[in-house]
Amino acid sequence: MKKTLLLVLFFAFTFSGCEKDDICDANTPTTPRLVIGFYDFLNPSVLKNVSNLKVVGEGMTTGILFNGAETTSGNKISIPLKTVGTTTTYSFTLNSGNSNPALVDQDIVRFDYSTQELFVSRACGYKTIFTLDPTNPYTHTDATTANVKWIKFISVEKNNIENENETHIKIFF
């Protein structure tokens, strides 16, 4: 009886220090990216594909990879916002890499926002949600001296960026 009791106590103390592994599930929502849809300026309800779009963050030398490439052709992208600070600036280059420099056009867009950190779990830590500035959510300039913007109009669809399930910004060109 004493041996059985000692054996039970031994196992109880041995496994009392064990705890569940803290691994953040890949399906757990974390800090969302800004979802941008591209639309036809002349027909605003129609999604429009961009050709060889390259998106580069301020101070960076290489662009964000889309589908394994630095440039993308498609009608929707997701880009990260800085979690430290209240602005993020990107250059959007249309027809990036084209041998004809007259067809390459670069616009600069700065997004202004506030941040809020939310606790997700012990394994995942915190996530940041963003709220675009309601009075001035973005600043749009042309990077070239010609001052001809390929982006004609930017529309803010959702000020609160809490997930990646919806389009937050629409760019018309």
What is the DSSP code (8-state) at residue 44? T
Strand ranges for 95-133 from DSSP E: 105-121, 125-132
> Residues 74-109: pLDDT tens digits?
899 999 999 999 999 999 998 888 898 888 889 999
Whole-number percent of the chain with pLDDT over 90: 60
Residue of 49, 43, 46, 111 lying closest to 76 (CA atoms)? 49
For each of the chain's 173 residues, which pLDDT tens digit applies? 666 655 565 656 565 555 566 788 888 889 999 999 999 999 999 999 988 899 999 999 898 888 778 888 889 999 999 999 999 999 999 888 889 888 888 999 999 999 999 999 999 999 999 999 999 999 998 876 566 789 999 999 999 999 999 999 999 99
Q: How far apart are CA 145 and CA 49, in angstroms?
A: 26
pLDDT at 42: 95
Do 161 and 34 meet the contact criterion of CB atoms below 8 Å apart?
A: yes
